[in-house]
Structure 1
Amino acid sequence: MAENGNRNQNQAKIVPPYIKAIAGSIGGVVEACCLQPIDVIKTRLQLDRSGTYKGIIHCGATVARTEGVRALWKGLTPFATHLTLKYALRMGTNAVLQAAFKDPKTGMLTNQARLISGFGAGALEALVIVTPFEVVKIRLQQQRGLSPELLKYKGPVHCAHLIIREEGLLGMWAGAAPTVMRNGTNQAAMFTAKYTFDKLLWIKQEGDGKVLQPWQSMISGFLAGTAGPICTGPFDVVKTRLMAQGQAGVDGKYKGMFHAIKTIFAEEGLLTLWKGLLPRLMRIPPGQAIMWAVADQVTAMYEKKLLAA
């Protein structure tokens, strides 16, 4: 009886998926506002075939000098919206999948199940949210200048409308395959690593009532966010190229994910498949640090106040 009571008590302390979703969405807003310039620079570097930009600092300085400082926040609206929805779906889906994979008797979750849950959450977010929002974001970011009359896309809504009209609805899902591979792999690694670092560094497990300080969450989140960009660099470059070219554009040289990888490797060399890696490392690990610092505090409020009642 006592064992059953302890088991039920532990199960009751599991944070529900909707709390995880809310925590992730709030963290996404904060992350987007802080790190949008790095994302703009990453996109410009990945699309630069002529060597216009000499590096991260030169790219940022050139954009700010020639297009204005506000250009570094191009695409912020779709980026912030997409991060908010993406993190809500990611955190919620991962929580649901982890609950489904837990051993019903012990409540334990294996590392393999944690990886599968993370990949499933990443793949779903890629198809439902990330791909269409990033298509719009990249089309906006690749435009040079700020004068509306000189720009093809006047804003996020106009951009989406024009893409659908000119390229069909599937145009919003250009680059979906590499996006699924990138996000699935990223989240499989990230959720597993975050759990591992929390446990090793801070002796923290979900539902134990221990509240991490924001700086502790930032360290765990930063470390968890480093492996993904290195492993998924080629998928990210290919995704950006496919999304930028469109389906009916004159620059439609890439026929799909594998054709793009082969073509980029043959024409531009192996290292091009990791182009933009440094700005990704400047954006993703700090982004995960910011997001987890916020998300962990929201989750801790639920654990501390509601579950203690």
Structure 2
Amino acid sequence: MAEAFLPQPETYRPAKLLASGGLAGAISRTFTAPIDRLKFLLQVQDGRTMMTLRQGLARMAEEGTMKAYFRGNGANVLKNIPETALKLTCNDVVKASVVSDGHAISLGERLVVGGVSGAIAQGAIYPLEVIQTRLAVSRVGTYKGILDAAHKIRHQEGYRAFFRGITPCMLGILPYAGLDIAAFELMKEHLHGQYADDAPPAYLLAAGMLSSTGAQLVSYPLGLVRTRLQAQGIGGEPLKYSGMLDVFRKTIRHEGVRGLYKGLMPNLMKIAPAAGISWVVFEKAKQHLKVADPRCSSQ
């Protein structure tokens, strides 16, 4: 017999969800910021010779300050607070409407809800995604900060530069967010069934790491294409690529298929703890704020 657990009416439910998601995004991204910058440095290196992890770390160390390891993190946090909040909130709200008639939500519905939620969130903050990439890969002194980067990109390259790479981004976020959210929720529901709605944080952390790692492996080439499109044209320089398909074509021709996976190792090193921390903080913040969890289980 299917039994739906529906959320009780809460006056401040959307605000609580946004606060929980925002806190989750800020903490997880700051914790993994050095690995994130390392990933960007490896992704934008074209040619068959791959920058190693050691060379990437040396490039950051050459800048001489601790701030070098966190370049772009201000933009990253600024974008991830609304992005994570919107993604997790949209998923929660849309899922609640899907299960409101009492039927058990299917895997296909989870994938669609998660993918759409991720796309909405990513689209809303995309210009900050471009700014983060530019701050992470540019040489010291190119940009003084978030506002200076925004001003120079607009002045030197025009408003369209803020949306370079959005096509592969949207194509990638649908399977990534869909698989990530659906897999995590299935594992979370299994854990809640075993631990009476109070699963140990370590198990939630592991579930978040597993779900995001699997999703990342599926969508990674599109992420690399997005980063290369975002990073080109700094200071008004000529563009290397005319679009998404051109990046795929040139990368495979000059670097081989392996080129599409440059930066994968540091990305996996980052995505697992970042996603795990994000999910744990989100779930625990919802519990602290007494936000009901709309889900279905069967007996």
- In the superposition, the TM-score normalised over structure 1's length comes to 0.85
The partner residue of 1:116 within 91, 95, 112 is: 112
| 1:132 equivalent among 127, 136, 140 | 127
User: Structure 1 residues 62, 167: closer, same or farther in 2, change over 3 A?
Assistant: closer
Cα distance in 1 between the residues matched to 2:247 and 2:47 = 18
- Alpha-carbon shift at residue 251 of structure 1 (Å): 3.6
Structure-2 residue corresponding to 1:58: 55
- 1:187-226 equivalences under 5 Å are 187-203=177-193, 210-226=197-213
User: Relative contact order (alpha carbons < 8 A, sep ≥ 6): 1 or 2 greater?
Assistant: 2
- Does 2:7 correspond to 1:12? yes
- Measured in 2, the distance between the counterparts of 1:300 and 1:218 equals 16
TM (normalized to structure 2)?
A: 0.88
> What one-letter code is carried by the residue in structure 2 that aligns with 1:299?
K
- Give the letter aligned to residue 109 of structure 1: I
Runs of 4+ in 1 over 6 A off after TM superposition: none
Tell me if 1:266 matches 2:238: no
2:216 pairs, out of 229, 238, 263, with 229
Q: CA deviation at 1:122?
A: 1.3
Task: Specify the code of the residue in structure 1 equivalent to 2:277.
Answer: I
Q: 1:51 to 1:249 in 2, by over 3 A?
A: farther
Q: 1:250 to 1:181 in 2, by over 3 A?
A: same
Amino acid at match of 1:154: K
What are the ranges of 5 or more consecutive residues in structure 1 without an aligned counterpart?
1-5, 146-150
Task: Check 1:234–1:119 CA distance in 2 against 1; reply closer, same or farther (3 A cut).
Answer: same
1:47 aligned to 2:41? Answer: no
2:179–2:215 CA contact under 8 A, matched in 1: yes
How many Å apart are 1:161 and its aligned residue? 1.4
Are positions 1:81 and 2:68 aligned together? no
CA contact (8 A) 2:191 2:199 kept: no
Greater shift in the superposed pair: 155-164 or 239-248: 239-248
Output the aligned Cα RMSD: 2.7
The 2-side partners of 1:122 and 1:199 are apart by: 21
What SS is found at the alignment partner of 1:12?
A: coil
Q: Say how many residue pairs are matched.
A: 291
Q: 1:175 aligns with which of 160, 165, 168?
A: 165
The amino acid of 2:169's aligned partner reads T
- Judge conservation of contact 1:122–1:185 (CA < 8 Å) in 2: no
